[in-house]
Amino acid sequence: MTDRPITVLFMPESAYGPTNQCIGIGKVLLDRGHRVVFAAEASWKGKLEPMGFVEDLVDLAPPAEADDTGEQDAGQFWKDFIRDTAPEFRRPTVEQLSTFMAPTWQALIDGAVYCEPQLKSIIERVRPDVIVEDNVVCFPALVTADAPFVRIVSCNPLEVNSPDVPPAYSGLPTDDRSEWESFRAEYDRTHRTMWEAYNAWVLEQGAPALPDLEFIHASDAANLYVFPQEADYTDRRPLTGSWHRMDSSVRETDGDYAIPEAVRVRPEGSALIYLSLGSLGGADVDLMRRLIDVLGRTPHRYIVSMGPQAAELVLADNMVGSEFLPQTKVIPQVDLVITHGGNNTTTESLHFGKPMILLPLFWDQYDNAQRMDELGFGVRLATYAFTDEEMVAALDRILSDKDLCARLEEMGAEIRDRDGLRRGADVIESVGRAHAEGA
């Protein structure tokens, strides 16, 4: 093979998690001299080019109104959707199947249908050597292109189904199967008709049929997923040779973060804790205010990722924060992470060897929260029903467990040594080079 540069086309889901995931890998490929193009959602305009990427963006719906500067907030499509459906997060996961999960899948499907002609045009312009999709629905244009595609699963790997692991999105325990089948039956009932219609449309576009009740194909070339070996499910659900685990995928594009003196200097016995419910969960102002109130009465110090409703929040005296924080530079400096259980934050916490308290809201966050709890890497709390006493007890339990903290620190070093970010870039580069050589 020659070492000529290849062209890589990334098509991430609009939300921050998948897009940041692709940014991390994309930057490695960019630094190797390759051309990296993002067919991201249009609200990312102007955010990717400064990093060296080419922007060739898509709309997933008729363009939303811009702000006074003429720009949309990055990921605004999903911020708006989550804001409108947030009351459903208070329901058990099995009830969310009809009230949140199915409408979310339909919104994703609508976006895929709407942007299909745009993607075809982008592929014709860009002429990629490899296409990388970090999404949960099929975009037929990516599957039917001349170039091979690589799928990234940046959610909890239960998304790769098997009868011997809990159903995805359920948050059910691994060692108790008593509710697995009833959850799967309800998923079938609430999703079957929608899946049949989408599968028919995918076939009409010339793409292969979708696997039963799944909304995306696995790639014949290569599939990547992000989850540490120490937390994986492969003892129960072995994966074929096309699947490659990235134990972590910590982007290197975040700026440095100096801990402010207000929380750097703290009383003896108090810890420094990072609180983030993600860009979408942070929009729940009432939940954020509750956490600020409860945590503000503890002796610890906090760095708070305040999220898109930052202007509506007033931090307690033992806290500092802002709307956006360079998370990958904050986590290494704290003692504990309080998180919604998004896959990026969960795997980044393990990458840096930090224990967690998890407050899941939607999608795979329940699966991550359950997995961390059952493995002893964190404590899962009921997001809207936890008591003050339960939160304080979880803090005390984790921070006093020196053996756990030492074990996680050692595990984090091993995860970092495996360098998942470059492993993912290697796989993508290999698939792209093979295609370029055969073209």
Q: Out of 73-77, 275-279, 339-343, 397-401, which region has the weakest mean confidence (pLDDT)?
A: 73-77
pLDDT of residue 278: 85
What's the alpha-carbon Rg for the chain, to the nearest Å?
Answer: 21
Give yes or no for a contact between 384 and 287, defined as CB atoms under 8 angstroms apart.
yes
Query: What's domain 261-417's superfamily in CATH?
Result: Glycogen Phosphorylase B; (3.40.50.2000)
Q: Which residue has the tokens 């199947």?
A: 97
Two tokens, residue 301: 């110090």
For residues 359 and 341, what is the distance between their CA atoms, to the nearest angstrom? 7
Q: Which of 204, 206, 197 is nearest to 143 (CA)?
A: 206
Under DSSP, the state recorded for 392 is H
pLDDT band of residue 283 (cuts 50, 70, 90) is confident
Give yes or no for a contact between 200 and 125, defined as CB atoms under 8 angstroms apart.
no
Q: Which of 323, 262, 318, 315 is nearest to 292 (CA)?
A: 315
Residues across the chain? 439
Q: Which of 12, 127, 23, 3 is nearest to 429 (CA)?
A: 3
Sign, CA dihedral 223-106-93-177, equals negative
pLDDT of residue 66: 46
For residues 368 and 371, what is the distance between their CA atoms, to the nearest angstrom? 5
pLDDT of residue 106: 94
Q: Tens digits of per-residue pLDDT, 370-408?
A: 999 999 999 999 999 999 999 999 999 999 999 999 999
- Burial per residue of 164-187, b for 16 or more beta-carbon CB atoms within 10 angstroms, e otherwise: ebbbbbbbbebeeeeebeebbebb
Strand order in the sheet with 54-55: 54-55, 35-38, 7-12, 130-134, 149-153, 222-226, 243-246
Residues facing residue 151 across a β-bridge: 133, 223
pLDDT band of residue 312 (cuts 50, 70, 90) is confident
Q: Residue 320 pLDDT > 70, yes or no? A: yes
pLDDT of residue 307: 82
Mean pLDDT of 353-359: 97
pLDDT of residue 229: 94
Q: Tens digits of per-residue pLDDT, 84-128?
A: 667 778 889 999 999 999 999 999 999 999 999 999 999 999 999
Give yes or no for a contact between 248 and 351, defined as CB atoms under 8 angstroms apart.
yes
Q: Tens digits of per-residue pLDDT, 144-158?
A: 999 999 999 989 999
pLDDT of residue 158: 95
304 vs 71: which has the higher pLDDT? 304
Other CB atoms within 10 A of residue 67 CB:
9
Q: What is the mean pLDDT of the chain?
A: 91
Q: Residue 181 pLDDT > 90, yes or no? A: yes
Q: Tens digits of per-residue pLDDT, 32-90?
A: 999 999 998 888 899 999 999 999 999 888 866 544 445 555 545 555 665 666 777 88
Give the distance, in angstroms, between the CA of residue 366 and the centroid of all CA atoms in the same chain. 13
Residues of the chain with CATH 3.40.50.2000: 7-248+419-438, 261-417
| Percent of the residues in the chain that have a pLDDT greater than 90, as a whole number | 76
Fold classification of 7-248+419-438 (topology level): Rossmann fold (3.40.50)
Cβ-proximal residues to 208 (8 Å cutoff; 6+ apart), any chain: 143, 202, 217
Q: Residue 251 pLDDT > 70, yes or no? A: yes
